[in-house]
Amino acid sequence: MAGTLWMIGMMGSGKTTVGEIVADLMALPFIDLDTLIESDAGMTVAAIFYAEGEAGFRRRESVALAGVAGTECVVACGGGAVLSRANRDVMTASGTVVWLQAPVATLAARVGDGSGRPLVSGDVAAGLQAILGERRDAYDDAASVAVDGDRPPRTVAEEVVAWLRRS
């Protein structure tokens, strides 16, 4: 693998969990983009959304994404990182993009009541369905490969590594 391995997908798709396992299997550093943003900002993603709105968070996200692009590592992106055409271009130019897919029912079960997730509240499944509808084309545009994330994380990670080794 040359460059950055970008893990994209909806919240609850397993980007962080699978990404950590992939990084371990490939002996690469792992970066959770949201954690990096929180560290740089000195506040949580939810607090950034509250203080700066989604646009402020997305600006921070683009800066963090560009900052790690091209490094030999595995990066779990926030679910909305693909909304920016510039972000998608950075990802595709600097490495390989893996889209972890899962049914909305699985995503909703993993997300729970949506606590700490500024874009979902109330009917979490309906919110996730709406967000997926808005993002599906962007995920498809960015992805080098789409992988079924509705399985045990280790199984998904092993499939990603096997795909990378064949590519």
Categorize the per-residue pLDDT at 119 as very low, low, confident or very high, splitting at 50, 70 and 90: low
**Tokens 């396992």 sit at which residue?**
21
- Global pTM? 0.92
Rounded Cα gap, residues 117 and 114, in angstroms: 5
pLDDT digit string, tens, across residues 51-84: 999 899 999 999 999 999 999 999 999 889 999 9
Q: What is the pLDDT of residue 120?
A: 63
Residue 115 in this model has a pLDDT that exceeds 70 = no
In the chain, what are the domains? 4-166 (3.40.50.300)
Residue 67 near residue 37 (C-beta atoms within 8 A) = no
pLDDT digit string, tens, across residues 14-51: 999 999 999 999 999 999 999 999 999 999 998 998 99
Rounded Cα gap, residues 60 and 105, in angstroms: 30
CB atoms within 10 A of CB 152: 11
